[in-house]
Amino acid sequence: MSLKRIAIIGGGASGLMAACHASAQNVSVILFEKQNKIGRKLLVTGNGRCNISNTHISVERYHGHNPRFTNNVFGRYGLTETIYFFKSIGLPLTESEDGKLFPLSLRAVSVVELLEYEAIKRGTEIKLHRQVGGIEKRNDSFVITTSGKEKFEFDNIILSTGGCAYPQLGASREGYELARSLGHTIHEPFPSIIPINIPLKSLHKLQGIKCQAIVAVHNNGKKLTSSEGELLFTGFGISGPVSLDVSRRVNELVLCGEQPSIVIDLYPGFTENELSDIIQDLLKDKERTLTLSLTGIMHKKMAEILLEIAGIDPQKKAGNLIDREKETFVDVLKRLTVIPGKPREFREAVTSAGGVDVNEIDGATMESRIIRNLYLTGEVLDIDGDTGGYNLQFAWSTGAIAGLSQR
């Protein structure tokens, strides 16, 4: 009796995980990767260290039209199983700040090399330079056609093509289009975990300046989300961890035609009254310019620009500043309010939001509820996580579940 033939389309995180687990099920597995090497996106994650997962995995860390889908996934294959798997293939993990888990080697290449070795060792055949151009369902099997016009027949397919982020590393819409061609609903993808465009040109003059801040997203008078940490001003807007944390919500609102506002607290460690008292003390030398007076608490360029935003001449003498102007300036420091522009390109995004509607997927097996023997994993699905290892955990889990379902 011939072995069941399984095709895995995509050699990223979830595809490699699916290969490792499927190949252990006494089936024949072929993995198709359109690039000249597998795991290219994995190699750049975590600044080259590969942030494999996070100890704080929970549904609140995930987004999409049905984030509770992750409860089914992690109930079947979660953090504990992931840690055990990586340890079993010779990749122990170490915990960093905020629960982030990295390979003890702190090298993403270690992850790719060991996953590739394990997949091949267990029997996976890897075909590089094979872009899948079409999938046709024929009775109880599938026929895959590559861009080179090769045809292959399989019993089951695992679609692990990833999302749109990092097109320079091969990411594209192909997974969405293949899923759509087989009858699946696609929620239009958009960039997530990405720097934010701010059209206010005066802010662009702060390029390169970093500070600790709270960045909050407001819409229709309500605060929707916020993050505290390092903020980096750029030549087009803002970046840094806090910006990346809130960028998904900002982009989602902008693309839906809303006009959210971003409110930045540049001195989160102080109340308005405390900050007002500090500034009052800095103004004791009445002959100093305001810019010089403020250099003890902020970058000179930052003082100039924020004073201008507050409508105050930066070269004004400290003795000429009136109480109303000081109150306005303190308000800018505690509530700098800016309007975001259109989202930046996918090439700058860590991940993409949107994708295949997970209500059309069985979370216990990752099998399509529309096409029998079709399985979908990872970023091609309409689930995206916060920065910090959450997206890779979803990829590992969905890939493993799909692989284990190939009995």
Which of 343, 368, 395 marks a domain boundary?
A: 343
Residue pLDDT, tens place only, 212-243: 999 999 999 999 999 999 999 999 999 999 99
Give pLDDT, residue 1.
Answer: 62
> Same structural domain for residues 292 and 371?
no
Instruction: Express as a percent the part of the chain with pLDDT over 70.
Output: 100
Same domain, 40 and 108: yes
Long-range pairs for 361-367 at CB < 8 Å and ≥24 separation? 361/69, 363/69, 363/71, 363/72, 363/73, 363/76, 363/401, 364/72, 364/76, 364/401, 365/401, 365/402, 365/405, 366/158, 366/398, 366/401, 366/402, 366/405, 367/402, 367/405
CA 141 to chain centre: 35
Domain shared by 46 and 110, yes or no: yes
Q: What is the pLDDT of residues 256-272, one digit of tens each?
A: 999 999 999 999 999 99
22 contacts: CB under 8 Å, gap ≥ 6: 6, 8, 29, 124, 158, 402, 403, 404, 406
What is the mean predicted confidence (pLDDT) over 125-141?
95
b/e string for 249-267 if b means 16 or more Cβ within 10 A?
Answer: bbbbbbeeeeebbbbbbbb
Residues 238 and 266 in one domain: yes
Q: What pLDDT is stored for residue 153 in this prediction?
A: 97
Tell me which of 359 and 47 has the higher pLDDT: 359
Predicted confidence (pLDDT) at residue 2 exceeds the cutoff of 90: no
CATH (domain of 291): 1.10.8.50
274 and 299 in one domain?
yes
* pLDDT one-digit tens code per residue, 89-101: 999 999 998 999 9
Together in a domain, 162 and 235: no
Q: Which one of 304, 327, 343 terminates a domain?
A: 343
Are residues 294 and 205 part of one domain? yes
Q: Does the pLDDT value for residue 136 go beyond 70?
A: yes
Instruction: Please say whether the beta carbons of 375 and 157 come within 8 A.
Output: yes
What's the pLDDT score for residue 88?
A: 98
Residue 253 and residue 219 in contact, taking contact as beta carbons nearer than 8 Å: yes
Tell me the residue range of the domain where 245 lies: 195-343
How far, in Å, CA of 98 to CA of 250, rounded? 23
What is the CA angle 155-156-157, rounded to 5? 135
More confident site: 378 or 47? 378
Among 343, 364, 387, the domain-final residue is 343
Task: Render pLDDT for 50-81 as a digit per residue (tens, 0 to 9).
Answer: 999 999 999 999 999 999 999 999 999 999 99
Same-domain status, 199 and 272: yes
Over residues 346-360, the pLDDT tens digits come to 999 999 999 999 999
237 in the same domain as 356: no
Burial code (b: 16+ CB inside 10 Å, e: under 16) for 310-321 equals: bebebeebbeeb
Same domain, 171 and 233: no
DSSP per residue, 202-233: HHHTTTT-EEEEEEEEEETTEEEEEEEEEEEE
Same domain, 237 and 142: no
Same-domain check for residues 25 and 151: yes
CATH number of the domain within which 11 lies: 3.50.50.60
pTM for the full predicted model: 0.94
Determine phi and psi for 36, rounding to 5 degrees.
-85, 0
* pLDDT tens per residue across span 141-192: 999 999 999 999 999 999 999 999 999 988 899 999 999 999 999 999 999 9
Number of domains in the chain: 2
Q: Name which of 394, 360, 361 is nearest 379 in CA terms.
A: 394
